Amino acid sequence: MLKPLIIIAGPTGVGKTDIAHRLALEMNGEIVSADSRQIYRYLDIGTAKPSLEFRGQIPYHMIDIVDPDEDFSVADFKQQAEGIIDQIHLQGKLPFLVGGTGLYIKSIVSGLFPSPPPDLPFRRKLQEEASLLGTNHLHQRLSAIDQTAASKISNNDLRRIIRALEIYQQTGKPISCLQRLATITKDYHLIMICLNQDRQRLYAQISLRVDRMIETGWVKEVRGLLEKGYSPKEGGFSNPPIGQECLPPFRLTSMEALGYQQIIKHLQGIYTLQEAIDKIKQSSCQFAKRQLTWFRADPRYVWLEPDNMAEIRKVIAA
């Protein structure tokens, strides 16, 4: 008999944490976070981590596991999360995989495609090209070799563009072809729920949540990150050691978390606080729309409104 795994997915601000927490309390469950920003220590308010009260009531996993300047890949997530899910099953409990990072969830329910390790010199070369010629130049290069991938990757998403070009450079195969080779490495009895609600109501909730984050000290949190030395950009020596090349600056993945860039620009005097708040709200709504598009591509999801707890329980019990 396959062991159960409950997926609670959905866009930012829809209420995944509250719903999953209630269900886990009721069903003797534990929660495995599938959020690519909650893995970072010190990024608390802006990533909407579960409260300490929640985390004292039931176990939460995959939260606060790396520092903001540490690398953490989807493959790392898959390996660690699957081990945790196994341990939850061994304890006779019910695992809930909860979050809005579609790629994290996909790595568990559909597997990962075979991909080569990073080629840092090639990445640096492409970074330099992007600095000189613009990100759109690299996106056009990707489109020439892999129109399918280019159509799914924003021409502003430099990290994913570089990764797609890097894989083609190393394998001679488009990333879109390799992605079709993904296989499930573990079999679960999957119950996949995606929470959603009326778009205007969702956007209103996002706006209120951003306001609450600001009120509870988000700006102070970002200032503290900068004071700890977690600059928006890392890497590079102004005077490199002998035999070590001077590398161009690279952006910290952690500091690309939704809203952090806008608050950093406020602290740098580029935006007023209100301008930063408005831009965070706009970006958050756009992000929610992209998340919904991602989840709609998987027909296994059952779409439910967060207010309908009775139906959510019914789907899980079926």
Question: Which parts are annotated binding residues for ATP?
Answer: 10-17
CA within 13 Å, CB half, 277 = 14
The residue behind tokens 């909860």 is 98
Question: Which parts are annotated binding residues for substrate?
Answer: 12-17
Question: Which parts are annotated binding residues?
Answer: 10-17
- Answer for the pair 43, 260: CB distance below 8 angstroms, yes or no: yes
Radius of gyration of the chain (CA): 20
DSSP 66: B
CA angle, 212 as apex, 210 and 215 as ends, to 5°? 115
Q: Which residues pair with 5 in a beta bridge?
A: 190
Q: How many CB atoms lie within 10 A of CB 294?
A: 18
Q: Which two tokens stand for residue 122?
A: 């090639």
In 55-86, which positions are buried (b, 16+ CB within 10 angstroms) versus exposed (e)?
A: eeebbbbbbbbeebbeebeeeebbebbbebbe
Phi, psi of 11, deg, nearest 5 = -75, 165
Could you give the CA distance from residue 291 to residue 35 in angstroms, rounded to a whole number?
12
310 CB-near residues (< 8 Å, 6+ apart) = none
